[in-house]
Structure 1
Amino acid sequence: MKKMIYGLFFGDSITYGEYDGVFGGWVDILKRYALQKYNEGEGNELILFNLGIGGETTESLVKRIPHEMAARNSAEGNVVFIGYGANDLAIKNGIQMVNPENFKTNILTAIQHAKQYSKDIYLISILPFSKKVDGVVVASGKLRTNEEVVIYNQILKDIATENSLIYIDFYSAFLQDKEIVLSADGVHPNERGYGMMAEIAIPIIEKYLEF
């Protein structure tokens, strides 16, 4: 029997797909892929919701996730993806937007909300930054460092291990070629980077397409 499964992607502008004028970002690529498979009659109907908001931190995530999950859940199964940190770790006017301790608390809170609707929860790594913005105050007034990315990603990895969740490691995939797969702003992927993310994520969503 075919099922209708919902995939909910929570995150910031990298989830939203900012700076990708070609594909609309990695979640949109996955959305089209899932629809194509369904139209070919090859599996379950997997409906993907891109719930990424530019500039968002985990502070906002914990406020909206209960409402978003309640509004969009399938009785036949839900898959939740949580991708945060690039804004949380940023320093603005000398203050870190969300410090590591609060970041951990917020992610754990979000997981508790997600668990009410889903047993399949994925934590997404933060991407490395280009060397031109690493430790530099950019136009938005934010300062980010790759050193902090490593610290926050470790928090995500530890949470995934301790809660039997799956950690999607986009960070390692980007690390070597980051200057090629990041856009001109040094923070967001370009079309090639988003394409790489989708390639890594396709085998994950494949599991839910099979019946």
Structure 2
Amino acid sequence: MQKHLVAMGDSLTEGIGDEVKDVQLKSWVAHFAEFHQPALKVTNLAKRGLLSHQIRSTQLEETLSHNPDIVSLIAGGNDVLKDGWNPEQYQVDMEFMVQQLTQQRPDVAIMTSTLPDFTLRLPLPSEKKKIMKEQLLEANEIIRSIGERHDLLLIDFWNHPLSQEPTVWSQDLVHPNSVGYQEIGKIVYKEYAQWQEKK
């Protein structure tokens, strides 16, 4: 029976960015699906600009309705980049979504990731950059903690060399470009395949 991947999240998962080097702009989810054999059914619910509580309120119910085999849940970039970072609310939202997914289907494979370091690229005043970095570290600590408690596949983009590679980012310096999404798809698939072998 064909496995079903449902992707939840914001613009990073939707696939917003620049098309470069004759590489078609597609989400990393689409690239992941191309690498996966046998073929996957894919539903990408991610939408740009959403905070974690908005992802929870607009995507969780539909995700559950699909009873997916694999779920990608990457969120938090907008929570940190927009004013009003609330780590307690972020943790509640992420924890709730993971709990609902695993309660419905204990064998569901949930993929998530730490957030990349946007401060490496964004031209921000030093004090603003310091605050953002602290918030990103706080968000990533929450993600790591949830990942460990629920045995999620956690891709560590904070420490990955790709986050420091200037050629894979769009002109806005926040979103990957088409090459970046292709590389992310490769990375996630490789780690997913290794993770599945250990189960």
- Contact 1:65/1:113 (<8 A) preserved: no
Residue number among 41, 57, 65 corresponding to 2:51 in the alignment: 57
Q: Please report how far the alpha carbon of residue 91 of structure 1 lies from its aligned counterpart in structure 2 after TM superposition.
A: 3.4
TM-score, structure 2 normalization:
0.81
TM-score where L is the length of structure 1: 0.76
1 CA distance for matches of 2:163 and 2:122?
16
1:171 to 149, 155, 158: 158
Map 1:84-163; keep pairs closer than 5 Å.
Answer: 84-92=75-83, 95-96=84-85, 99-115=86-102, 116-117=104-105, 118-129=107-118, 131-133=120-122, 135=124, 145-163=132-150
Unaligned residue ranges in structure 2 (runs of 5+): 126-130
Q: Give the drift of 1:169.
A: 1.3
* Separation (CA, whole Å) in 2 of partners of 1:150 and 1:16: 23
114-123 vs 101-110, greater mean Cα deviation: 114-123
Q: 2:40 aligns with which of 40, 43, 46?
A: 46
**Corresponding residue for residue 198 of structure 1:** 185
How far the C-alpha of 1:72 sits from its partner, in A, is: 1.8
Cα distance in 1 between the residues matched to 2:195 and 2:153: 15
1:125/1:171 contact within 8 Å kept:
yes
- The answer to whether the 8 A contact 2:50-2:78 is kept is yes
Larger Rg: 1
One-letter identity of the residue aligned with 2:17: Y
Distance 2:160 2:154 in 1: 13
Q: Distance in 1 between matches of 2:123 and 2:138?
A: 15
Deviation at 1:70, TM superposition (A): 3.5
Aligned partner of 1:128: which letter?
D
> Using a 3 Å threshold, how does the CA distance of structure 1 residues 176 and 201 change in structure 2: closer, same or farther?
closer
Supply the distance in 1 between the matched residues of 2:169 and 2:192 (Cα, whole angstroms).
24
Percentage identity across paired residues of the two chains: 24
> Which stretch shows the higher mean deviation, 159-168 or 100-109?
159-168
Deviation string 1:160-202 (CA, Å, 9 cap, x unpaired) is 1122222111222246624332211111011222122111112
Closer, same or farther in 2 for the Cα pair 1:104/1:61, shift >3 Å? same
Residues 20/9 of structure 1: CA separation in 2 closer, same or farther (3 Å cut): farther
Deviations 1:99-141 (A, max 9, x none): 11110110001112211135321222212215452646xxxxx
Contact 1:26 1:197 in 2 (8 A): yes
Amino acid of the structure 2 residue aligned with 1:4: Q
More strand by share: 1
